Structure 1
Amino acid sequence: MERYESDTEGDGQETPLLHRGHEDKVQRAPVCCSSRYGLALLSCYGFFVVYSLRVNLSVAMVDMLNNTHQSSANHSFSVCPAHANPPRPKHNHTASVYDWDSETQGWILGSFFYGYILTQIPGGYLAGRFGPKWLMGFGILGTVVFTLLTPVAADLGASYLIAVRVLEGIGEGVTFPAMYTMWAAWAPPLERSRLLTISYIGAQLGTVISLPLSGEICFYLDWTYVFYVFGAVGLVWFVLWAFLVFDSPNTHPRISERERLYITTSLKNELSSSANIPWGALVTSRPLWAIVVAHFSYNWTFYTLLTLLPTYMNDILGFSIQQNGMLSALPYVGCAVFAVLSGQVADYLRETCQYPTVIVRKSFSIVGMIGPAVFLVAAGYTGCNYTLAVTFLTISSSLGGVSASGFNINHLDIAPSYAGILLGITNTFATIPGMVGPVIARALTTQKTIEEWQTVFYIAAAINLFGALVYTVFGRGTVQPWAVHTSYSHGD
């Protein structure tokens, strides 16, 4: 019997749930109108709000600056011939403008991450202790409130705006750990890839939609409405979240009995009933540190592109990010599509083809980390071939979406009871590239040459390759012994 139960939680998920003798009676609950997929869609909406509020400032900043002060920047020369676009007529805007120098702008744009990194681990702990629903709800609501206050803070001074952005980061910092804690109670093991990729595609959609839409709002209204519009969208989300979402299937008043039994039965051997967190075993777990290294490495490339792709397109390719909003969004469209497709394929391989979980996670991580590295380096050698450069950068980001079904979900495989805390730990380290990566890249590209950018791309690619190697060697796909308190064993 001990071997049988070990197999059910082994890396292979050798015998999928519902295909096992006695548990045949518990049938898979339908997808349509289900509570778990409703949660996936609402959390997708939530992460759309989170990322919209995170990136809209970078677009609004263009209109927040005094045009005469910035005139020299607007006429900078690129390595490749610039793409001239007919100037759009300027509307008479009444919003304030500010004379912030480049250093102040850098502090304003980067201040978010200093708050974001503070609440990763506390977010995981609090979600496990008090429940993820209200922690995530109030975390995003707080971010929405401070977003609505952004125009007032900017009028008061740059230091007030920096403080507001730090507070926004603190609010958003709890969202991912809280959502992982939520999925630990809601996601059947063989549907994890599908549910989580639907949930987190909201982050990509938030980036894709808010970049060009913020530019249009700035043009037709003024920059203050960027924060008012997205703030209002966030308020609508909070109302829906408050009334429609619950911490677990057992506390949901409208879930069908079939779906509740399906979810709870599939998770009964994976969740720990102990309130004590095994910190010693947790921080010395090699499978956890494998995820830490992979997450850090992947985010180095992700944040390099997120923050510096506009600069590269302007300085090297001659594209203006303000005039080509959809062009800058292309990589994130590809990333979102590949993330959702990878979730479907990963769960199909695990359930129908019965591939070991660990093999699926490592394979998708390798494709999602080495693929982007190769095409990122290749983009540096396209010269002034605009089409090829944009194509390679888009493929690089798109392949990165495959990792959503790799190391990104592995927290739930190795310790579902502590998934929020594990995500908090890995995301703390993974936030560091967002703080230091762009700074290092800017320091390496002072002359704005193609050769300097090749160096930036090589560094990002090398870090990605290192992360893929470490995860391939040390990653695991089973619930670890320290993560569940039962009498049977767990084999790797």
Structure 2
Amino acid sequence: MATMTELSSTEEKNKYSQDTQVDEKLILRKAPSLCSTRYGIAFLAHLCNFTIMAQNVIMNISMVTMVNSTGHQSQFNNSTEGPPVDSFGGPNNAPKSLPAGKAPVYDWSPQIQGIIFGSINYGMLLTLVPGGYLAGRVGTKRVLGFSLFGSSILSLFTPLAADLGLVFLIATRLLQGLTQGSVFGGQFALWERWGPPHERSRLCSFALSGMIMGAFMAILLGGVISQALGWPFVFYIFGGIGCVCCLLWFVLVYDDPVSHPWINVTEKEYIISSLAQQVSSSKQSLPIKAVVRSLPFWSICFCSFSHLWLINIFIVYTPTYISSVFHVNIRDNGFLSALPFIVAWVIGVLGGHLADFLLTKNFRIVTVRKIATVLGILPPSAFLVALPYLTSSYITTMTLLTLACGLSSLCQTGVYINALDIAPRYSSFLTGAARGFAQIAAVLAPTVSGFLLSQDSEFGWRNVFLLMFAINLLGLLIYLIFGEGDVQDWAKERKLTRL
């Protein structure tokens, strides 16, 4: 049996040839875990997701102050229900003379606000699939790094865009969506090369939990910053954070263990040996026809669509819902709206460890994925449906919002990483395609919800939550029926013969 010294020598000569014999149990025992390069990569992916989601979400909390005043008044409870005046024309419809040091405010109806909320998702629709494909071909480091930089620059530009007019603001959000789509679609290519099968749940869930932490910090600090400095500084601060994160990403992240200059040799051997049977040594063409005919893949698409509808209701409308029900100021709204997301972050991280623990206890992968998905969709949807009937109870409302948002993060270890199970060779493309399909929900949810809230002031929230519940139930049923956990035949390595 080869010793670790011999393995190291063989690695230098043969670039980890598949003929090298590795004692996987010995490597697993000696391979570092928490203080390891792969967990460092997961942390940097967590930071990248944190930044991107924060930049995505800050509009939702800033909107409370952007539209909460009119003309020369500063009261927080003025109506914005009327039709917009020159919404798409002129420089903008902000007050012409504002007191020194005060941020501009706008007269945008709920329909217009819904369009602004959803505009970033239109751009994401166009780059989720190409982002996943490019990350698998040219590397995650480049795709995510340039996307993060673009999103950060556009965040810095957002206050100026709003000042130039609603058309410029929506165009900026569209462009920002184009950059962010590559991040959401392309990051799973990392785990094709960095994620041992029995650690993928925890690595992916920790990386994806950055989105939840980003939403938490944006909503928490967005309210404080808006009240203390003005809403434009929310965009300046998180845009600046993104530029710093971009620098760290380019310096510290590498696409695979082989190219990483500082990785421990034992850890490198462990990762490569654990993935030897899943990652092909040569690029293979994507079996498009087989993918289109794959029911397990389509079940991931429809379930992701339904869950993303739920998540967008949380992210976009939690501050608005709390403001409309409890009439709190922007600072308190930020604290209350952020509370559910920190609980979701904790549950998301713990859920990944629990999923990997169940896999070590010989639970089937499909069983673990479906349990996590059921818990991440069904209870949260039911809790939100109950909210309109409990508006008189402050504690009950906040408890249900917190539990619903917290449990929803369990889908990170369920449907969202299922593509890594059924087709690890093509997971970046499949995840991008599934997320691209699901992103339609991110476009429709705020637009449809804004329409429902405008049409029925008395039962608007009830209608929003009932529609969300129906969509979530349908997507969950499709996934439970057709979801799989085994590598599909079309995703296995094909032996090519040459004449």
TM-score higher than 0.5 here?
yes
| Alpha-carbon distance between aligned partners in 2 of 1:63 and 1:370, rounded to the nearest angstrom | 33
Distance (whole Å) between structure 2 residues aligned to residue 65 and residue 401 of structure 1? 30
How far did 1:477 drift? 0.8
Deviation of 1:217 (Å) = 1.8
Q: Alignment partner for residue 77 of structure 2, among 64, 74, 78?
A: 74
Residue 243 (structure 1) aligned with residue 251 (structure 2): yes
Q: Following TM superposition, by how much is the alpha carbon of 1:64 offset from its aligned partner in structure 2, in angstroms?
A: 4.0
Change (3 A) 1:93 1:432: farther
Shift of 1:319: 4.0
For residues 210-254 of structure 1, the C-alpha deviation after alignment (integer angstroms, 9 at most, x for no partner) is: 112122222222332222211111111111111111000111011
Q: What SS does structure 1 have at the residue aligned with 2:41?
A: helix
Alpha-carbon separation, structure 1, partners of 2:224 and 2:478: 43
Shift of 1:196: 0.8
Q: Pick from 49, 52, 55: which aligns with 1:53?
A: 55
Q: Secondary structure at the match of 2:411?
A: helix
1:3 matched residue in structure 2: none
Give the whole-Å Cα distance in 2 for the aligned partners of 1:105 and 1:457: 19
Q: Match of 2:464?
A: 456
Distance, in Å, in 2 between the alignment partners of 1:465 and 1:64 is 35
Contact conserved, 1:310 with 1:320, CA < 8 A, in 2?
no
Distance 1:404 1:66 in 2: 35
**Cα gap change, 1:385/1:473 in structure 2, threshold over 3 Å: closer, same or farther?**
same
Q: Which residue of 2 aligns with 1:411?
A: 419
Shift of 1:93: 4.9
Separation in 2 of the partners of 1:438 and 1:156? 24
- Aligned residue runs from structure 1 range 132-147, under 5 A: 132-147=140-155
Supply the distance in 2 between the matched residues of 1:161 and 1:104 (Cα, whole angstroms). 12
Q: Which string of whole-angstrom CA distances, capped at 9 and with x for unpartnered residues, describes residues 251-271 of structure 1?
A: 101111111111111111111
Q: Does 1:23 align with 2:24?
A: yes
When residues 457 and 321 of structure 1 are mapped into structure 2, their CA distance, relative to the original with a 3 A threshold, is farther
Overall identity of the aligned pairs, in %: 39
Residues 27-79 of structure 1 show CA distances to partners (whole Å, capped at 9, x for unaligned) of 241114311000011111111110111111233344445833376872469xx
1:303 aligned partner: 312
Which of 97, 103, 113 aligns to 2:104? It is 97
Contact 1:271 1:484 in 2 (8 A): no
3-state SS of 1:26 partner: helix
Local SS of the residue matching 1:67: coil
Q: Which runs of 5+ in 1 are unaligned?
A: 1-19, 78-90, 488-492
- Matching residue within 407, 423, 426 for 2:431: 423
Secondary structure in 2 matching 1:68: coil
Say which of 227, 232, 239 aligns to 2:240.
Answer: 232
Contact 1:249–1:263 under 8 Å retained in 2: yes
Which stretch shows the higher mean deviation, 301-310 or 29-38?
301-310
Partner Cα distance (1:59, 1:394) in 2: 17
In 2 relative to 1, CA 97–383 (structure 1 residues): closer, same or farther, beyond 3 Å? Answer: closer
C-alpha distance in 1, partners of 2:108/2:334?
Answer: 24
Partners in 2 of 1:115 and 1:228 — Cα distance? 21
Tell me how far 1:167 sits from its aligned partner: 0.9
Kindly indicate whether residue 210 of structure 2 is the aligned counterpart of residue 202 of structure 1: yes
**CA RMSD between the two structures:** 2.3
Distance 2:65 2:384 in 1: 31
For residues 429 and 362 of structure 1, the distance between their equivalents in structure 2, rounded to whole angstroms, comes to 20
The answer to which structure, 1 or 2, has the higher relative contact order (CA under 8 A, 6+ apart) is 1
Shift of 1:108: 3.0
Equivalence for 1:359? 367
Q: Which moved more, 1:313-322 or 1:107-116?
A: 313-322
1:91-128 alpha-carbon deviations (Å, 9 max, x no partner): 97535525443254443332211111110111011111
Instruction: Please report how far the alpha carbon of residue 470 of structure 1 lies from its aligned counterpart in structure 2 after TM superposition.
Output: 1.2
SS at match of 1:240: helix
Distance 1:314 1:223 in 2: 17
8 A contact 1:292–1:429 mirrored in 2: yes
Query: Partner of 2:416: helix, strand, or coil?
Result: coil
Cα distance change of structure 1 residues 311 and 218 upon mapping to structure 2, 3 Å threshold: closer
> Could you tell me the TM-score, scaled by structure 2's length?
0.85
Q: SS of the counterpart of 1:228?
A: helix
Number of residue pairs aligned between Structure 1 and Structure 2: 453
Q: Matched residues in 2 for 1:305 and 1:41: separation?
A: 25
SS in 2 for 1:270: coil
Counterpart among 299, 315, 332 of residue 341 in structure 2: 332
Unmatched runs of 5 consecutive residues or more in structure 2:
1-20, 81-97
What is residue 223 of structure 1 aligned with on the other side? 231
Cα distance between partner residues in 1 of 2:434 and 2:200: 19
CA gap of 1:373–1:62, structure 2 versus 1, over 3 A, is closer
Partner SS state of residue 448, structure 1? coil
Equivalent residue for 1:16? Answer: none
**TM-aligned CA distance change 1:224 to 1:308, over 3 Å:** closer
Letter of the structure 1 residue corresponding to residue 297 of structure 2 = L
Superposition deviation, residue 431 in structure 1: 1.2
Contact 1:93–1:221 (CA under 8 A) maintained in structure 2: no
Cα drift, residue 361 of structure 1: 0.7
- Per-residue CA distance 1:289-316 (angstroms, 9 max, x = gap): 1111110111111112222223322333
2:490 is aligned, of 477, 482, 487, to 482
Residue 189 (structure 1) aligned to one of 188, 197, 202? 197
Partners of 2:234 and 2:422 lie apart in 1 by: 41
Aligned to 1:252: 260
